[in-house]
Structures are given as C-alpha cells and as structure tokens.
C-alpha cells in the first residue's frame, strides 16, 4: 500500500496560505481521500503556548531560544506525521521547517545553525511556496500586530526563502505567484498536488540529510 504524501505549504505573512491549505483539505476530502491538516506553530501545546506569548510580544526570549522552541514544536508532532503518512493519510502542513530557517535567519542568525535542530525531521514530498511581494501584502491591508509582521523583516524573509528554494529540485519546491486571485492560486496549487492523491511509493525522506537528494553537501 502506498503511504500518504507529505505536502508543506510555506509563504510570507498575508500570502493566503491558510485559505489555500483549507481549500486543499476540502478538495482531498471531496475526492474521498484521508487528509490531515497541521499548522505550525501549533499554539495548543505547552511549547506552542510559549511561542504564542512570544509572537504576541507578551514575553521576551533570546533569538536562539525561540528558534529552538519553534523546532521543538515541530519535533513534538514528528511521530504523528510519520504515523499518519504510514496509514495512508495525506498530511498538509501550514508552514514547516523552512519558515523556521527563513524567519530566524532574517533576524540575523546563521543559516546553517538555523537548519541544525530541524535536520532529520520528516521531509515533505513537495513544498509549495506562496510568494507575495510586500507591496501586494500592503494592498491586502498590510501586516498584523504580531512580532514578525513588519515590511522590512518580511522582505528579508522572502530573500531567504528564495535562497532555500535554490537548493531543491523543481519537483520538490514549487513557487506559486500568490499575488493573484484566490481562485487562480487554488487552481495552480491543485494542479501541483493532485498527482499525490494516489499516494507515494518511495520511502519518506529526512530533512537536510544526505539521503534527501536536494543538498548533498550538507551533513557530510
């Protein structure tokens, strides 16, 4: 029996990620396919509550410490992700480790240091990056109140996402122009993932390890 596909959806704030992942969930369900939608940070766990307080500026933490909490928040769901995939369920993640690297590196932390705690997490079969310019985001009403929702930081985050994308093959990392209508973006997103509905026959890979073929020089 094939395993379920692991699909990550990444993007800048205001890129419409949440709308698109919800839409994906609905489409898979309508096709009679088991799907589980996960969101990172998962603010419901004990670690997630610390992250939530930090993002709302109700607490202060060293940049390294909050980075490790974001990573720990993914690790606490890693076994669940693997189990679901092995049961044949498609897992769609609203943000994953690439946000971790992009946001922390945008604050000035070393890119490879940022990757380290997420090395060997379950690797997505495909990552869809919803790309939007800060100007378009402003047209959509601008950013919100949370800590990272500032135009200058978002610009840096976008640059780092673009650098990360260069490390992946075109099949594994798909950049979607998210500055268009919801319907156009949804049509593109579906066209990239509908092939995964039938499941995946290759084994689940581990993020940023040698057997994940996008970055051979890492972890040598």
Q: Which spans of this chain sit near ligand DGP (rule: CB under 6 A)?
A: 13, 40-41, 55, 67, 70, 95, 99-100, 103-104, 146, 148
Least distance from C-beta 41 to ligand DGP, angstroms? 6
Four-residue CA torsion sign, 80, 99, 17, 57:
positive
Q: How far are the Cα atoms of 23, 187, 203, 215 from residue 3, in angstroms, in the given order? A: 22, 25, 8, 24
Residue whose CB is nearest to ligand DGP in the complex, by number = 100
Cβ closest to ligand DGP, residue 61 vs residue 204: 61
Least distance from C-beta 39 to ligand DGP, angstroms? 7
Closest among 98, 215, 207 to 161, alpha carbons compared: 98
Cβ closest to ligand DGP, residue 6 vs residue 103: 103
What is the Cα–Cα distance from 94 to 42, expressed in whole angstroms? 10
Least distance from C-beta 137 to ligand DGP, angstroms? 12
Cβ closest to ligand DGP, residue 33 vs residue 156: 156
DSSP for 7-34 reads: EEEEE-TTS-HHHHHHHHHHHHHHTT--
Cβ closest to ligand DGP, residue 156 vs residue 215: 156
């Amino acid at each position: 029996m094939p395993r379920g596909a692991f699909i990550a959806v990444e993007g800048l704030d205001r890129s419409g990620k949440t709308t698109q992942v919800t839409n994906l969930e609905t489409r898979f369900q309508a096709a009679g396919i088991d799907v589980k939608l996960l969101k990172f940070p998962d603010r419901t766990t004990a670690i997630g509550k610390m992250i939530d307080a930090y993002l709302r500026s109700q607490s202060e933490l060293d940049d390294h410490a909050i980075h490790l909490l974001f990573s720990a928040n993914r690790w606490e769901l890693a076994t669940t992700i693997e189990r679901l995939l092995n049961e044949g369920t498609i897992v769609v993640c609203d943000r994953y480790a690439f946000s971790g690297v992009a946001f922390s590196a945008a604050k000035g932390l070393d890119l490879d240091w940022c990757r380290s705690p997420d090395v060997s997490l379950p690797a997505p079969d495909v990552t869809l990056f919803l790309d939007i310019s800060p100007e378009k985001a402003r047209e959509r009403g601008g950013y919100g109140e949370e800590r990272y929702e500032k135009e200058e930081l978002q610009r840096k985050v976008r640059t780092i996402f673009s650098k990360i994308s260069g490390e992946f093959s075109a099949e594994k990392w798909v950049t979607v122009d998210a500055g268009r209508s919801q319907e156009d973006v949804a049509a593109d997103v579906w066209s990239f993932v509908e092939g995964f509905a039938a499941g995946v026959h290759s084994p689940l890979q581990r993020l940023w390890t040698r057997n994940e073929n996008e970055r051979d020089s890492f972890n040598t």
